[in-house]
Amino acid sequence: MIDDSTGPFTIGELARVTGLTVRTIRYWSDEDVLRPVARSAGGYRLYDAESAARLELIRTLRELGLGLDDVRRVLAGETTVAEVAAAHVVALDARIRALKVTRAVLSTVARRGSTAEEMTLMNKLARLSAAERGRILEEFVDEMFHGLDTADPVIRERMRTMAVDLPEEPTPEQVDAWVELAEMLQDPGFRARMRKVAEFNAADRGPDVPAGASLWFARRLVQLGAEARRRGIAPESSEAAQVLRDLLGDADPADVLERLRSTTGDRVARYRELLAVVKGGAPAAAHREEFAWVVAALEARVGG
């Protein structure tokens, strides 16, 4: 420590006491962060004990990652250390998240053996902001349901609010899934396919059909399809016919088959699988097998 009773100190003496280099102290002085209290007869900058204490504070703030502008504001009393620290916590959180995304992208590139072009696209899509990801989804849902006032409002809202953002610590599989999903949501062919699905949904709903009925039917389908598969019921068997009666009631099997075919194609099924992975689940959460069993059972009765 520097004794207050001693005289002014040169940059060299400050360096010896604080353990900082002369070059660093001179730089901070040149940047007007550490001001000398006087000049020697030869023009050299001189400092006092208060300068040494100020220097320790500067070093601490810099080691915590604060820029010189923030350091100047703290030293000038324009802001507090606590306020600056809080702002830097937010910035660090964003940087940590960006680094995690970078790591996941690189892991995916290494695993897939991606080309430079694929890596560039993957990195670009993975780094989209939450707002940009939301815009892609908003445009997709708007195009899918535009003008279809009778479409199930629960399905519409569910699609609009579904989470398609990457988690705080995305796995390479989640980055991979999000990239594929983002490309799919912007593909005109897939949008047209999903528009057809929405049109079927709108056509199914009469004035007395309650909101959410479409979602209930899908859950019932998965439940009965899973149970039939677990019991080893063949889609063409008489037992399968009873499962369909339990599911469809008085609905026309041919009409239901046409609608299910629009929602169970490979790309639509893949869309559900990708959503499941991005949200932290497994592809099996898309229930591809359950839908396929019901479609096969209907085809066995309705025909190709």
In whole angstroms, what is the distance from residue 110 CA to residue 119 CA?
10
Work out the number of other CB atoms within 10 angstroms of the CB of residue 143. 15
What pLDDT, on the 0 to 100 scale, is given for residue 99?
Answer: 74
Q: Are 290 and 230 in contact (CB under 8 A)?
A: no
Of 121-130, 150-159, 273-282, give the lowest mean pLDDT range: 121-130
Section 63-78 average pLDDT: 85
Section 275-289 average pLDDT: 77
When mean pLDDT is compared over 34-48, 159-173, 181-195, 224-238, the highest value belongs to 224-238
Section 171-180 average pLDDT: 80
Question: Residue 123: what residue type?
Answer: N
Whether the predicted pLDDT of 295 surpasses 70: yes
pLDDT-based confidence at 176, cuts 50/70/90? confident
What does the block give as tokens for 40?
A: 């020697």
Mean pLDDT, the chain, integer: 81
When mean pLDDT is compared over 32-41, 91-100, 231-240, the highest value belongs to 231-240
What pLDDT, on the 0 to 100 scale, is given for residue 156?
Answer: 80
CB contact set of 51 (below 8 Å; sequence gap of 6+): 9, 14, 34, 35, 36, 37
pLDDT-based confidence at 212, cuts 50/70/90? low
Section 154-181 average pLDDT: 75
Whether the predicted pLDDT of 283 surpasses 90: no
Section 251-255 average pLDDT: 84
Residue among 60, 48, 44, 68 nearest 2 (CA) = 48
- Tokens 């070093």, located at residue: 59
Question: Residue 257: what residue type?
Answer: L
205: left (phi over 0), alpha (psi -120 to 50) or beta: beta
pLDDT-based confidence at 166, cuts 50/70/90? low
Phi, psi at 235, each rounded to 5°:
-55, -30
What pLDDT, on the 0 to 100 scale, is given for residue 237?
Answer: 92
CB contact set of 181 (below 8 Å; sequence gap of 6+): 164, 271, 274, 275, 278
What pLDDT, on the 0 to 100 scale, is given for residue 126?
Answer: 67
Question: Residue 171: what residue type?
Answer: T
Whether the predicted pLDDT of 227 surpasses 90: yes
Q: Are 25 and 34 in contact (CB under 8 A)?
A: yes
Section 5-25 average pLDDT: 83
